[in-house]
Structure formats: C-alpha cells, structure tokens
Chains A and B, each alone.
Chain A
Amino acid sequence: MMSSLVISLLLPPEQIQGHLSKMLFVHVPSIYLAYVAFGVTLVGSAAYLATKNLKWDRLAGASGEVGVFFTGLAILLGMTWAKPTWGVWWTWDARLVLTAVMFFVYLSYVALRRAIPDRVMRARRAGVFGVLAIVQIPLVHFSVIWWRTLHQPPSLTRPGPIQMDGPYVAALLVAVMAFTLLYVVLINRRIELSKIEAAIEDAFLTTDTAVAGAAVSAPRFDRLEDDDV
C-alpha cells in the first residue's frame, strides 16, 4: 500500500486534469475490489446452495461485508474527485446512481445476515440473495457504455488500444495489486471472526442459562386455601 502511495504521488501530472488524475489510483482499485468481493460472494453463495457446507456461507458473508466497505469507499473517493473536476459532489448520473443502488443492495445483504439468528436459514436466504444481487455488477460496469453519462468510460477495459500512458498503467496495476493483497488479509480476518461467532453460538446453545419463566414461582394454592379458612 505504501509503495502504491509513493509511486502514485511521484508520477508527473496528467495533461488535462493535472495532479487530480492521481485520484485514479485509489478510486479505481476500490471499485475493482468491490466487484471482486461481490463475485466471491456469488461463488460462496452458489457453492453453499449446492453443497450445504457452511464454510461457503462464511466466505460469502465475509466477502459481502468487505465489498460493501469498498463500494462505500469508491463512492466517497468518486465524490472527492467529482467536486474539483465536475464542480459538484454528486449528480444523478447513471453510473453514480447504479453504484449507490449496488451499495444499498449489498448493505441489505449484510443486514439480512444479521437479522436471522438460525444459521442454516440465514445461509439459505443469504445464498439466494447473494446469487441474485450479482446482476448489479454488469449494470454498474456497463452503465457508462449503455447510457450517455458524465462519468468517463472504462480506461483499460474499453475496446481498442489503451489510451493511458505506460507509467500510469504500471502505477494503476501496482495499486490494484496492493488493494488485492489488502482484500486477502481482510477476508481472512473476517472469516476468522465468522468462525469465532459460530463457536460463540454453539457455546451459548450448550450452556445452561436461566429462562424468563425461572424467575416466576408457581402459585401456592394450598396456602390460599388455609388463609381462606
């Protein structure tokens, strides 16, 4: 991450946007990782629905949360880039709106997971959600090609020759690799957390705990009868 930061800042300014173009090296890797994370959520969800093995559900859940973080970060960084270049923090552009929709859809996925206590039911419902929600990614990615938008089209994945200078492409690849390593670290920690949470659920289920009714004693009818007499 530090190498990526240094390389990005040392590059010469771009012809039109000047130094502002350096936002590319944090904005693009963020949205790329969001795509990767939601792709992994799809794989984990589909694998759970096919095998019923909860390790796939843990992978899907962990990746979904990390993906929401990177989508939110990409939106924030996009707004920070938009203000000095477009003059506004936000505009109702197809790419921006669809990215915001993707953020809220996957935020709902995380909320759904937290709302269902039973782990098998949670895995099944989140699995279906994780498979269906993937439709967001092509919508977001191709929105700049399908509709006329203020947001620029893709720099590297558009048809034809790459219209970016070699040093910029190299710096972007370094940034993407750095963010990918970060994703691997985060996903490992998040899966570890899911395993501990499952162990805590098991520990709660096997521990004798007082229930609400334990605090209430049964009425003593024999004493009532004695007092009445």
Chain B
Amino acid sequence: MSEWGWVAFGFSVAYGSVALYVGWTAARVRRANRLLKDLTS
C-alpha cells in the first residue's frame, strides 16, 4: 500500500471510531431516557 493509502486508512480508523463512539453514546442516552420515561409514566 502507498504512503497515502496508509494515511487514509489511519485517518479513517481514527475518525470512523470517533464517529461510532459518539453515535453509540448518543444512542445509549436516548435509550436510557426512553426507559426512564416508561418507568416514571
């Protein structure tokens, strides 16, 4: 793989992982909010 190929792969891993973690955290907050609403309604 060329130098640019490795750089593209590394940056994809970095930014992709960050996007996944941010999305997963937001999804957990939404799910917990829904559960709390069900329990208290």
Contact = CB atoms under 8 A, between A and B. Distances in A.
Mutual binders A and B: yes
Nearest to B24: A69
A5 interface: yes
Nearest to B6: A84
B35 to A, nearest CB: 6
A186 B39 contact: no
A83 B6 contact: yes
Contacts of B25: 186, 189-190, 193
Contacts of A20: 3, 6-7
Nearest to B18: A182
A203 B13 contact: no
B7 A19 contact: yes
Interface of B: 1, 3-4, 6-7, 9-11, 13-15, 17-18, 21-22, 25-26, 28-29, 32-33, 35-36, 39-40
6 contacts: A5-B11, A23-B10, A27-B10, A196-B32, A199-B36, A200-B32
Given A5-B15, A76-B17, A80-B6, 16 more contacts: A1-B15, A9-B11, A26-B11, A27-B10, A76-B13, A81-B6, A84-B1, A84-B6, A185-B22, A186-B25, A189-B25, A190-B25, A193-B25, A196-B32, A203-B36, A203-B40
